[in-house]
Amino acid sequence: MTDYVINTKGLMKSYGSNLAINNISIDIKKEGIIGLIGRNGSGKTTFMRMCAGLLNKTDGDLQVLGGKPMDNLEIVDRLVYTYHNMAYDNNLKLIDIINSFQIMYKGFDVSFALKLLKYFELNEKQKYKSLSQGMASVFNFICAISTRAELTMLDEPVLGMDITVRRSVYEVLLRDYTENPRTIIISSHLLSELEGILSEIILINKGQLLLYKDIDEMKEIAYRVDGNADSILNFTRDKKVIYSRTGLLYSFSIVFGNLKDEMSIATKSNITLSTLRPEDLCMYLTQENKEEELKCLWEE
């Protein structure tokens, strides 16, 4: 038995001249709630659709649950992939869709799905077309989580939900994972909300893999350096600076690397070091440094 649910090597996907996935090599471990994070258009959905067997790769190698997912029913039966605009027949009632999931997935828990409908105040006799965007997202989540599939992929699962409903979804997700451990991958740009339930983060930007880290490890691999511009420059001279900002009121740099052992040196240099939240680290890793362009906005 392999310890991984997804293995890729040099994975590529292009649409004409547009390279959506660019040379991604990753081995995603079994069991955990993993955040697939990236800005809009970063390649998250393309990556998930290839893993689900819905989209063919252009080049490279892709193994999901030990096999190739494209046109492979044995593999596809062990995974579920949902997204916000699922193409259900609008005239179907929610109970009809739930019954179809039961036919497709032998491990589908109908009783649990019906309990979740009640919990989220959905009527099983409602037609899918009557649902708001937020409630449609809730229903898609219910169907996916009730499959108890080995690999569950949720593409922007909380789209359209208000904050109260989102929190309920996160609570259900974490509790059900605890009761039924498997691999759950969630693509989202709301990392601040997900941080408390994630075990690992995969960060993609412009089709490239930037990092795949344990959530706790991410809290120690980058620091914010605050101080005057000259002190920051001297302190960071031999370090990997991924973002910097020099201004009239304040200056800071973001350094990729563990600086825990350099706290005393920083203090002597009148510099303040602080760790970054995973959300902030992902933002700085994917944000272009436009300091010079910013200055030009006020030049004649």
pLDDT digits (tens), the chain, 300 positions:
478 999 999 999 999 889 999 999 999 999 999 999 998 889 999 999 999 999 999 999 999 999 999 888 888 889 999 998 888 888 899 999 999 999 999 999 999 999 999 999 999 999 999 999 999 999 999 999 999 999 999 999 999 999 999 999 999 999 999 999 999 999 988 788 899 999 999 999 999 999 999 999 988 899 999 998 889 999 999 999 999 888 777 889 999 988 888 888 888 888 999 999 999 999 999 887 655 555 566 666
DSSP of 231-243: HHHHHTTTSEEEE
3-class SS string, 117-147: HHHCCCCCCCEHHHCCHHHHHHHHHHHHHHC
Handedness of CA 132, 133, 137, 138 (dihedral sign): negative
φ, ψ dihedrals at 107, nearest 5°: -95, 5
Which structural domains are found in the chain, ordered by start? 4-214 (3.40.50.300), 220-297 (3.30.70)
Query: Which residues, 6+ apart, have CB-to-CB distance to 272 below 8 Å?
Result: 225, 226, 227, 266
Q: What pTM, to 2 d.p., does this model score?
A: 0.91
Q: How many Å apart are CA 6 and CA 21, to the nearest integer?
A: 15
How many angstroms separate the Cα of 285 from the Cα of each of 126, 204, 209? 44, 10, 11
From the list 30, 128, 47, 111, the residue with the least C-alpha distance to 81 is 47
8 Å CB contact between 127 and 158: no
